[in-house]
Structures are given as C-alpha cells and as structure tokens.
Structure 1
Amino acid sequence: MPVYYVNSYDITDPAEYAHYGPPVLALLQKYGAEVLASDLDAIGVEGTPMKMHAIIRFPSEAAALQCYNDPEYQPLKEIRWRSTANGKMILVHGK
C-alpha cells in the first residue's frame, strides 16, 4: 500500500537549503518514490502556510522509513534542519 510523505516548513537559510534538494531527489529514486507536489508559494485557505510544502508518494511504509533512515540521508537531513524552521513531516497511508 502506498504512503504519502507530507512535509511543510519555513526556509530560513535559502543558500544552505539549495544544497538539500538535488541529492534528496536522487535518494528518493533509490526507494521508488515520486514527488507529486512541491511548492514554495502555497495558497493558504485556512491558517498561514509555511514556505515549503511537498507530497511524496512511496510504494510502501517500509520504503519511506528506509529512505528517512538511510545513511545517505542523514547529512542531508542536517542541512534541512539547519536551513529550515517549524518543520512538520508525516506519513499518510494511501489506498
């Protein structure tokens, strides 16, 4: 069953954050993930949206968690932590 990794956060250091995206996209391919949506200009319907939003489909919960815990992702995660704030990330089970 697919799962959807949904994240939102504010980018506080765009120069450092620029080092995050390209290697993450390569890592996502390793786990069969597909970026369904990614937006820096979301429209707030209720509340104030953060700066970055993404929805990524993984083929399974196991694949999503393996990607998140992959040794290659750990230094990238640190880049994201240093260059963003107010991050929220969840896995949503699909059908």
Structure 2
Amino acid sequence: MSDAPAYVIANFTIEDKDEYRKYEKGFFPILKKHGGSFFTFDDNTKHLEGSDPRSGRMVIFQFPSEAAADAWYNDPEYQALSEHRRAGTSLVSLTMVHGLPPR
C-alpha cells in the first residue's frame, strides 16, 4: 500500500479555545511540510448507526502515503506543537485510514 494515500481522522472536544488556537496556528505549515492536505472539519456531524463515537469536532486530512503520515506524526516539531492540542482538547481518537491505491 505504499502508493496509497493515508487519511487521518481526529475526533475531539475543544475545552480551552486559546490553547487550541496555538495548535491551529502552527498546524498547517507542519502538515504541508509532510505533503499533507486538509480535507474538512465539522463541529456538527450527523451519526447514522451504531455507537456514536464522535465528540465535538471531527477533522480529516490526507497524506500521499502512510510513510508521510507517520513522518508528520513523529516529527518532533509536530509533537511539540501537539502539546497545545492535548492541553486544549479531550481527544476521543486520532486514527489513520488507508486510501485506495491509484488505478
């Protein structure tokens, strides 16, 4: 699956807006550094079936590969920045999903 994109889905509740804004301000340059692109976010998702895993916000972004997603997550600059996310939110989940390989 090395040619397949990877998607990261975050599900969390913002508890400290000021702390979370510090995270948002630094997020996009690090995302782009690893070839990532922002897909969407939603504060009002609609649950259709099963146990509702969602919290306040769902965020989806994409990387060109699993390796790029891993490099982003393990980047020391991102890990330092993510302390603001950890301090400002309650995380339900941060999940990587593999996309379909190009045809």
TM-score, normalising length: structure 2: 0.84
**Does the CA contact (< 8 Å) of 1:20 and 1:76 recur in 2?**
yes
Give 2:37's aligned residue.
34
Q: Offset of 1:94 from its aligned partner?
A: 0.5
What percentage of aligned pairs have identical amino acids? 36
Q: CA deviation at 1:48?
A: 6.5
Change (3 A) 1:86 1:29: closer
Alignment match of 2:71 (pick from 66, 74, 90):
66
How many residues align structurally? 95
Aligned residue in 1 for 2:62: 57
Output the aligned Cα RMSD.
Answer: 1.4
Structure 1 unaligned segments of length 5 or more: list them. Answer: none
- Are 1:21 and 2:29 matched, yes or no? no
Name segments (4+ residues, structure 1) moved above 3 Å.
none
How far the C-alpha of 1:74 sits from its partner, in A, is 1.5
Largest Rg, 1 or 2: 2
Q: Which amino acid aligns with 1:41?
A: N
Q: CA deviation at 1:42?
A: 2.2
TM-score computed with the length of structure 1 as normaliser = 0.90
Tell me if structure 1 keeps the 8 A contact 2:15–2:90: yes
CA-CA distance at 1:70 after TM superposition: 0.5
Instruction: Report the AA paired with residue 31 of structure 1.
Output: H
Give the gaps of 5 or more residues in structure 2: none
Q: Could you tell me which amino acid in structure 2 is paired with residue 51 of structure 1? A: G
Give the superposition deviation at 1:76.
Answer: 1.2
